[in-house]
A and B are shown apart, each in its own frame.
Chain A
Amino acid sequence: VPGDRTAFHRTITADPLSVRAALADFSVSLTRLGIAPEHVETLELVVAEVLNNIVEHAYRDMPAGEIGIEVEARGGVILCDVTDGGAPMPGARLPQGAHPGRGTTSDDLPEGGYGWFLIRGLARDLTYARIGGRNVLRFRIDFPPSPAEF
């Protein structure tokens, strides 16, 4: 089908340096598709947060396993499929992604928890499933991304 294309496909080890290398390749692939730098930067940020969460949480109590990343570009939409063999999401559901600093002052501003806030704000149609012992996260990012839910 014209317009349907795999933009990026990679299996990496769940560690921070492999994530960094994959993100660099991801950005190059998107740039080659003609996506503007400012949108590439935003797409990279969302995928970075998703991958970081897997490294830090899903594989926290076990040796680093694999993360599968599949990205398809269709017109002004990027479809991402990220799978891992780590621990399931707590409660088998995605974090709500509220701003961690809600109701706080700068003195007691939390030092973490901004990742899901960014993902929730920039990605659309987030779905999570546990399939065959793997976490499967799917989402869509429109570009130019419209952070309407912030």
Chain B
Amino acid sequence: MRLTTTNHGGDLLIAVREDRIDAAVALQFKDALRTASENAPARVVLDLSQVGFLDSSGLGALVTAMKALGPDRRLDLLAPTPPVQKVLRLTRMDSVFAIFPDEASAFARGAVARAG
């Protein structure tokens, strides 16, 4: 499971360098996300732009990661591809996560306030 982390103006940007988040890698993904977001700042942004497939086990890992951050920190999603957007929409996770189409909007001043 390849994740790269970058400090982006005080936010933690985690980029997923995998084509698929499916049942074969969901546990590794969950563990890698936990490790990557240890001691995370108030906001973690997960870049999904390279992920072309997400199933319900991958979705479960996203929920786990969000809950692990606790009430004082947030997990936002960046640039999901159309098939991933579809899963997020069908499962109504688009109302749970703030989703940004690109880095410019994700890291624009006031992005979090607008996302609610």
Interface residues on A, range: 20 to 34
Asked whether B90 lies within 8 Å of A55 as measured between CB atoms, the reply is no
Q: Which residues of chain B from 59 to 112 have any CB-CB distance to chain A below 8 Å in the complex?
A: 59-61, 63-64, 66-67, 71, 82-83, 86-87, 90-92, 96
Q: Which residues of chain B from 18 to 77 have any CB-CB distance to chain A below 8 Å in the complex?
A: 20, 22-24, 53, 55-57, 59-61, 63-64, 66-67, 71
Q: Which residues of chain A have C-beta atoms less than 8 A from B24's C-beta?
A: 16-17, 19-20
Q: What is the CA–CA distance of A110 and B96 in the complex, to the nearest angstrom?
A: 12
Asked whether B82 lies within 8 Å of A118 as measured between CB atoms, the reply is no
Asked whether A99 lies within 8 Å of B91 as measured between CB atoms, the reply is yes
Chain B nearest Cβ from A88, distance in angstroms: 21
Partner of B22, one of A48, A101, A117, A122: A48
* Chain B contact residues: helix, strand, loop or mixed: helix
A106 within 8 A of B: yes
* CB-based nearest A residue for B70: A107
- Could you list 15 further interchain pairs (A-B, Cβ under 8 angstroms) beyond the known A52-B57, A109-B67? A19-B22, A41-B86, A45-B53, A45-B83, A48-B23, A48-B53, A52-B22, A101-B96, A112-B56, A112-B57, A114-B56, A117-B56, A117-B91, A118-B91, A150-B90
